[in-house]
Structure 1
């Protein structure tokens, strides 16, 4: 387990020095979201050349202690972590424990919610007394119901395709369960869908002082097949949408940057 030993400097607004603090009181205040207030916050890490993971295909190989400090604060303040089932499987997610001892930590357990078109749940999450919630479509709900208790399966068919997941309805269903503060941890495909539907209120991005070269996805994944008339078979970008910088942290020992961008 990492220990929070890396100091941070608040650059915007600032300057202000944020030394390691077991309770992370000042850091928690920077990311505070009132309890009961619906919000969707995404948290991702990327290298300076845009890679979302390292040579081992895991995001843990490109983060560091500075990122870990913010990661713990964001989880402590959330009601539920939302993640794509494929990413949960690949990154080895298990039932979540809320980070202890932090100033912003809520009392109720931290829930895990998976988005899965197929309804397949990673094996490591099907056992134990804290199974995840699964947000899925019509066909996926039948699959998930064979693996999890019925009350943990949320069938949310999209209007254009009943086997796709209606993410907006999924967020409403989570809020109805008292899970209003959503922390989306990706992966890139889920984040792309959330951004396309304008469901993300803020995007927290750690820029790690590393390069990984070609290969890894961006933190926002492109669809598998782009229109044929785009350059090199690429995917056309959506019209630029505004983002407002709420704050920017800098780890002076490494150069890691941690930005909080408000999207609406």
Structure 2
């Protein structure tokens, strides 16, 4: 099923017809081994936000792929700061996408995973209180949770002075959460890159110049460059490009 602005594949082989959701699902797919996919949108000049929010860069085609990537994952990983700033709601899918997951033998909903060193979280926020699947919070050993958080989320302590992301991801995979999707923010993306944990980047490029000011999609401490190979290039009718890069 294809609706709204058409999405076409222009590389490696151009498609003669716009891609429907089944074709997009097959293009992105699920990996055969544990896999961490990162998904971001940026402007042509590299800005991560417009007017302070990523939604200012995102259009209909990007939101369509965004939803499909959530459908494909076992767990959605997000930093606490991004959760608060972007106003995340409970992680839910529509019936069509839940049906697809059931057909694949997956739980109806992916698990939300929040990375929070300081546990500055509100357990009454709908993202926790209304979650269809109990969220997981990756935090450091000495972080003190607010009252009520342990009632609505599993706390996984990994790392002393900061969250040990490698240990945290290993625990997620021990729980059967092999296909991970990270939606940021930039500090978390930078930390995952520094720990050499990123297997794939899905990057939507919005056709506009944001100008000086906004940060990049990655931030934090410097780390060695990591090579990823281009897998496909999709284009939407409004000038949006959707790039997928992954490890060889």
The answer to whether the superposition gives a TM-score over 0.5 is yes
1:233 corresponding residue in structure 2 = none
Of 200, 203, 220, 1:202 maps to 200
Establish whether residue 11 from structure 1 lines up as the match of residue 6 from structure 2. no
**Contact 2:40–2:217 (8 Å) recurs in 1:** yes
1:173-214 CA-to-partner distances (Å, cap 9, x unmatched) read 111112111000000000000011010110000000011111
1:72-120 CA-to-partner distances (Å, cap 9, x unmatched) read 1111100110000000001111220134424994231221110000012
2:26 corresponding residue in structure 1 = 29
Whole-Å separation in 2 of the counterparts to 1:29 and 1:103 = 16
Establish whether residue 133 from structure 1 lines up as the match of residue 136 from structure 2. yes
Tell me by how many angstroms 1:163 deviates: 2.8
Q: Closer, same or farther in 2 for the Cα pair 1:106/1:64, shift >3 Å?
A: same
**Contact 1:40–1:184 (8 Å) recurs in 2:** yes
Whole-Å separation in 2 of the counterparts to 1:263 and 1:93 = 29
Gaps (5+ residues) in structure 1? Answer: 224-236
Tell me by how many angstroms 1:145 deviates: 6.8
Q: Which runs of 4+ in 1 moved over 2 A?
A: 17-21, 102-105, 125-132, 148-151, 237-241
1:131-165 CA-to-partner distances (Å, cap 9, x unmatched) read 4210000122x3157522386110111xxxx1311
Gaps (5+ residues) in structure 2? Answer: none
What TM-score comes out, normalization by structure 2 length? 0.88
**Contact 1:25–1:102 (8 Å) recurs in 2:** no
Whole-Å separation in 2 of the counterparts to 1:67 and 1:100 = 20
Whole-Å separation in 2 of the counterparts to 1:240 and 1:194 = 12
Q: Closer, same or farther in 2 for the Cα pair 1:249/1:129, shift >3 Å?
A: closer
**Contact 1:77–1:104 (8 Å) recurs in 2:** no
Whole-Å separation in 2 of the counterparts to 1:263 and 1:34 = 12
Whole-Å separation in 1 of the counterparts to 2:131 and 2:218 = 33
Establish whether residue 112 from structure 1 lines up as the match of residue 97 from structure 2. no
**Contact 1:98–1:105 (8 Å) recurs in 2:** no
Tell me by how many angstroms 1:19 deviates: 2.6
1:231 corresponding residue in structure 2 = none
Superposed CA RMSD: 2.2
Of 44, 50, 68, 1:54 maps to 50
How many matched pairs? 239
Whole-Å separation in 2 of the counterparts to 1:222 and 1:214 = 19
